[in-house]
Structure 1
Amino acid sequence: MNKISLFFLIQIGLVALLSNAMGQSNPYTVTVNISGRIDTTEKNTRDIYYLFKNYLESRPDSLYDNPYWNNKEKRERQSGNPAIFYTPLYEYNISPKRIFNTWKPFILSIEKLELNKYKIRVALIKDEAEPDKILTILNLNAIRDNGNWVLENTFHDIVKSWESVNYKYINYVYPKSHSFNQILAQKSIDFCDSIKKVLDIKLNDTFSFYLSDNPDEMGLLFGYEFYYLNYTTGLTTKWLNQIFSAKGNEFYPHEFMHIILKGIGNDSRNYLIEEGLACFLGEFNTPRYKSRISKLSKDYLVNKPTYDLESLVLNKAENNGYQSAYPTGSIIAEIIYESRGYSGIIELCKADTRKSEDILRIIYKITGLNKKGLVKKFREKLILYGS
């Protein structure tokens, strides 16, 4: 079969009729389109195409010994997902089958970098005529591992040329263009120590802080050549003790909080409570903190449908361009602090809030408020921040 014939078979989704080059049986199929510049008559290129396709069909969201990923990174990333790019996809809380049927993979290029190493560039694209058609452009490597082609993050290709400084228990890693600021590094240590003291946390783990100047530069660390998926200025990989920052400096208290909170009820917190605590303890009274709550205030105080306290806590509020969990969790933390001080915050940290349905009951218990009283306090806070 020549290159052009194979290209059109793939384009119309008939590639599933072709034999699976790696002999694996997968539970669902993903249509992977390719650019006409890719020569699929070349054996390595064809094998790498099937490697990527098989990987997408192998439940890449699941934590197991995935045969399509290299062993070194599976060891490095411990019990977590070895694919750095997949971490933000968990935010969608939907299956990979649905993700890759909605945002269809289009391989832009498969280029040889060196013997036994190729770079794959993939766009995730929607078919529908929408303003945001591209979710991301993803960079991955394909390398030989024990004679087989397997996938690899591009992370180490980037950071191997970066500088690093161990400052007490923080390992800062940053581009050569950055000038390390020891004053801000010490400010970071002082902040972490002060929070651990008031929360009575003895844990003193070392952690890495990858410092970038902007979100696009940070996105490259995740493999995103075009960074739209989960576009943010900060991200923490708790199980690896890693912080990624796009703020261009050494101080990021919100992300520090995610590492610190590992020392107190680490696996039992709901996303809303985790982010609310990080905002309240790491950003209280800053313009960013106030801005988030002001946005929620505008929706809540006009009685917008689904913007009641219960819906917000259950994550059922209609999306209005911001993550309502952050300001909702922030106000909850404020109310608890004003009611019980740091002892109340510690109790919230330790409470099992994994089920959203349990959060309000736990808040009632900590504060002594009933439903009517909590709703009243919540509304008063929003009026204050909205004025």
Structure 2
Amino acid sequence: MDIRLYAIYIPGQTGGVADINNNIVYAGNNSEYYPHELVHLYTFKMYPDGYHFWLNEGFATYIGGSGGKSLDWHIEKFRKYVHQNPNFEISFKTLKGYIPNGLHSTEFRYVIGGLICKKVFEVKGMNALFEGLKNVRTDEQLYLFIEDNLNVKKEGFSEYIKQILE
């Protein structure tokens, strides 16, 4: 097993890794409870053939938060960033890493994926999220999932997310 536990240490935060093959959660930074990683164990057992990264991390953040903080906490950090950067483009292809606000606490894909999951749950319910985890693999499939469940086309996705944050 090649788990680099030192890689989950982030000063001042909690951290964890789900070893989905062995059904184990490794928790770092003196944290003994990491629900985000428990969600990953569940989704892997339910959907072992894979799922889109944004949807998977979004679902784990929606249900279990991330870094010891709730999805709503991360949404607030994202909201502040978008208000300070109104021309910011939200895209599955280009966004990776943390919101550049100096905190290293909110990963774009986790919070935006979480927003997608939250909105799909509000509109269509949990079964729609489960269908997405089961069937969505590519960016194009994720855009179609969003269009089918939220009536938002690919071209309007960035503006839709910004409207949620207003």
Unpaired segments ≥5 residues, structure 1: 1-81, 86-221
Question: Contact between 2:75 and 2:111, CA under 8 Å: does it hold in 1?
Answer: yes
- Give the structure-2-normalised TM-score: 0.75
Matched residue type, 1:382? L
What SS does the corresponding residue of 2:51 show, helix, strand or coil?
coil
- Specify the alignment match of 2:2 in structure 1: 83
The structure that is strand-richer by fraction is: 1
Question: How many angstroms apart in 2 are the aligned matches of 1:314 and 1:364?
Answer: 17
Question: Contact between 1:276 and 1:326, CA under 8 Å: does it hold in 2?
Answer: yes
- Specify the alignment match of 1:351 in structure 2: 135
What SS does the corresponding residue of 1:240 show, helix, strand or coil?
coil
- Specify the alignment match of 1:337 in structure 2: 121
Matched residue type, 1:336? V
- By how many angstroms is 1:334 displaced? 0.9
Note the 1:1-387 alignment, pairs <5 A: 82-85=1-4, 222=5, 224=6, 227=9, 233-246=15-28, 247-249=30-32, 251-283=33-65, 287-304=69-86, 307-309=88-90, 311=91, 313-316=92-95, 320=100, 321=104, 322-353=106-137, 355-371=138-154, 374-375=157-158, 377-383=160-166
What SS does the corresponding residue of 2:70 show, helix, strand or coil?
helix
The structure that is helix-richer by fraction is: 2
- By how many angstroms is 1:300 displaced? 2.0
| 244 and 376 in structure 1: CA distance in 2 versus 1, 3 angstrom threshold | same
- Specify the alignment match of 1:183 in structure 2: none
- By how many angstroms is 1:290 displaced? 2.3
Count matched residues.
Answer: 157
1:63-95 deviation line (CA, Å, top 9, x unaligned): xxxxxxxxxxxxxxxxxxx3222xxxxxxxxxx
- By how many angstroms is 1:357 displaced? 4.0
Q: Which has the higher contact order (CA 8 A, sep 6+)?
A: 2
Question: Contact between 1:336 and 1:367, CA under 8 Å: does it hold in 2?
Answer: yes
Matched residue type, 1:240? N
| 261 and 350 in structure 1: CA distance in 2 versus 1, 3 angstrom threshold | same
1:298-335 deviation line (CA, Å, top 9, x unaligned): 22234455x323x2x22436751442111111100011
1:175-217 deviation line (CA, Å, top 9, x unaligned): xxxxxxxxxxxxxxxxxxxxxxxxxxxxxxxxxxxxxxxxxxx
Q: RMSD of the TM alignment (CA)?
A: 3.1
